[in-house]
Structure 1
Amino acid sequence: MPTPPDAYSLYVYAIAASDTAAHAKRCRAVGDENAVVSLLSQGGLAAVVSSVSGRPRARRRDLSAHQDVLRALAANGPVLPMRFGVIAPDAETVLTGLDSARTAHLDALERLAGKAEWNLKGASVPEALPDLMREDANLRALRESTRRRPGYEANVSLGQAVAAGLQRRAEQAAAEVVAQLRPLAAELSEGRDIAGGALNASFLVPHAAETAFRRAVDTLAARHQGRIALTLTGPLPCYSFVAAEAVPTGA
């Protein structure tokens, strides 16, 4: 298999079955406007790559090109996506990675077939303060104490208690939301904590269940609107369900 023309190093977008990977060849490449998206194939698998000089910056054009390649792939089959900016030194390194982890790649592609990632984030609702006060006698007492004896420390303590109470209500709602949605997904991946957030979870949802999943999120958002604000994003490349060691590039 020939390497991309004038390849100083290779930008790696994803790994997919060879027939699926072929759908990305007409996409715009990251980096040099003259670069073309091409394939490095080995044993029925292909790494989707393009030649690149240096490490591309996260410019809007290049971020968009990266996502367009992944969308073209995902529309035609399962894909093991790379994060933006993955570079391999040469074609031999990529092909060696494909060969050495072939079984892991095939298993991962089979597991992701017919599914997409949907990310759900949740944050506390400041407008829920009246409800929080009605529910929390200790907080009401602290507010009354602060009114009787106002001061900087008292105001800080009250603010911290209010924020903690709103966060607690949001986290309780988040647990209920995840429990309701989990049966609709093949897998669940808890994301990293986000400052000010109460929920960051990704669901691996079969395509056949996507409509039901979205409707369930809408129903839960309405049910818990006084406790948590939900934001659903998807379908996405299955970043959260591909272990880093399952998609080596030798980079």
Structure 2
Amino acid sequence: MREGHRVCVYAIIRSDHRLPVEARGVGNPPVRVRKVDGNGVAAVVSDAPGDLRARRRDLLAHQDLLLGLAETGSVLPMRFGSVAGGDEAVLKQLRDGEQRYAATLRRLDGRVEFNLKASPDPDALAAVVREDREVRQLSAAARRRPGYEANIRLGQAVAAALDRRAAQAARDTLETLVPLADATAAGPDVPGCVLNASFLVERGLREAFRDAVAAMTDRHRDRAVLKLAGPLPCYSFAASGAGEPVEA
């Protein structure tokens, strides 16, 4: 490739990490990917399409490539849309960060990421009325003297009770899952969620981790909705120092 052309950067891997056969990246048709080798570490790149945008097709192609790479070695994933000004720019980045990249790849060896989100169960109203004294009292008052203010107070109390129950379920779930992970990381706040956390899990413990989440889902069925995604590329643990304890 001629220097000066932009390249998409998908991941950083070890130099001896082989690319999947017929590996492809973004674009229509999908472009072939290749390695730019540094000293011990390499970048997985492709020519950058001129109209690169966050289309579903290209987002999936980016993630599928990372998951394919992770099947045969550790991967330091780049965010979709990471673009460099040619192979020499990539090589400079590899040289500048060689030791840091190598250390992160060692830390991610044999591991995958799972993400868990917890939100209040919208179908738990009957359980809230049964178990929450304040909600029962406000519900009875609203039936005796219906009106706008009574309904507002009842709605606020129900929403607060749903959030408390979901937060309790999230804390219990974390206590179960954290021992199964090598590291945890808090994700950004998500509207409607009381927990957004990622877990770095040994590849051999994937099924045990899924089973533990399934058990927590059953245990807290009337308290929280648990949504598990993964295995995923280890985005949340790629940065230096990533993996701080998470609280709910």
Give the alignment partner of residue 114 of structure 1, picking from 103, 110, 113. Answer: 110
Cross-structure match for 1:9: 6
* Code of the aligned partner of 1:80: L
Cross-structure match for 1:228: 224
Cross-structure match for 2:246: none
* Code of the aligned partner of 1:14: A
Q: Does 1:197 align with 2:210?
A: no
Change (3 A) 1:70 1:34: closer
Residue 35 of structure 1 aligns to a residue in which SS? Answer: coil
Residue 193 of structure 1 aligns to a residue in which SS? Answer: coil
Task: Return the TM-score normalized by structure 1.
Answer: 0.90
Q: Does 1:209 align with 2:225?
A: no
* Code of the aligned partner of 2:44: V
Cross-structure match for 1:249: none
Superposed CA deviations along residues 125-172 of structure 1, whole A, max 9, x for unmatched, are 122212212222112111122222222232122112111111110011
Cross-structure match for 2:167: 171
Question: 1:33: Cα distance to partner?
Answer: 2.8
CA contact (8 A) 2:118 2:193 kept: yes
Question: 1:79: Cα distance to partner?
Answer: 0.2
* Code of the aligned partner of 1:44: G
Change (3 A) 1:12 1:24: farther
Change (3 A) 1:244 1:82: farther
* Inter-partner Cα distance in structure 2 for 1:5 and 1:89: 11
* Inter-partner Cα distance in structure 2 for 1:208 and 1:245: 24
Cross-structure match for 1:138: 134
* Inter-partner Cα distance in structure 1 for 2:197 and 2:4: 38
Cross-structure match for 1:19: 16
Q: Which moved more, 1:232-241 or 1:54-63?
A: 54-63
CA contact (8 A) 1:10 1:49 kept: yes
Cross-structure match for 2:153: 157
Q: Which moved more, 1:187-196 or 1:59-68?
A: 59-68
* Inter-partner Cα distance in structure 2 for 1:109 and 1:36: 24
Residue 220 of structure 1 aligns to a residue in which SS? Answer: helix
CA contact (8 A) 1:10 1:87 kept: yes
Question: 1:5: Cα distance to partner?
Answer: 5.6
CA contact (8 A) 1:8 1:90 kept: yes
5+ unaligned residues in a row in structure 1: which ranges?
Answer: 247-251
Alpha-carbon RMSD across the aligned residues, in angstroms, is: 2.0
Change (3 A) 1:225 1:219: same
Once the two structures are superposed, the pairs formed by residues 38-57 of structure 1 within 5 Å of their partners are: 38-54=34-50, 56-57=52-53
Superposed CA deviations along residues 164-221 of structure 1, whole A, max 9, x for unmatched, are 1111100111001001110010001111121111221111000121121111111111
5+ unaligned residues in a row in structure 2: which ranges?
Answer: 243-248
Residue 221 of structure 2 aligns to a residue in which SS? Answer: coil
Cross-structure match for 2:64: 68
* Code of the aligned partner of 1:95: L
Once the two structures are superposed, the pairs formed by residues 234-245 of structure 1 within 5 Å of their partners are: 234-243=230-239
* Inter-partner Cα distance in structure 1 for 2:134 and 2:42: 61
* Inter-partner Cα distance in structure 1 for 2:240 and 2:146: 53
Tell me how many residue pairs correspond in the alignment.
242
* Inter-partner Cα distance in structure 1 for 2:3 and 2:50: 13
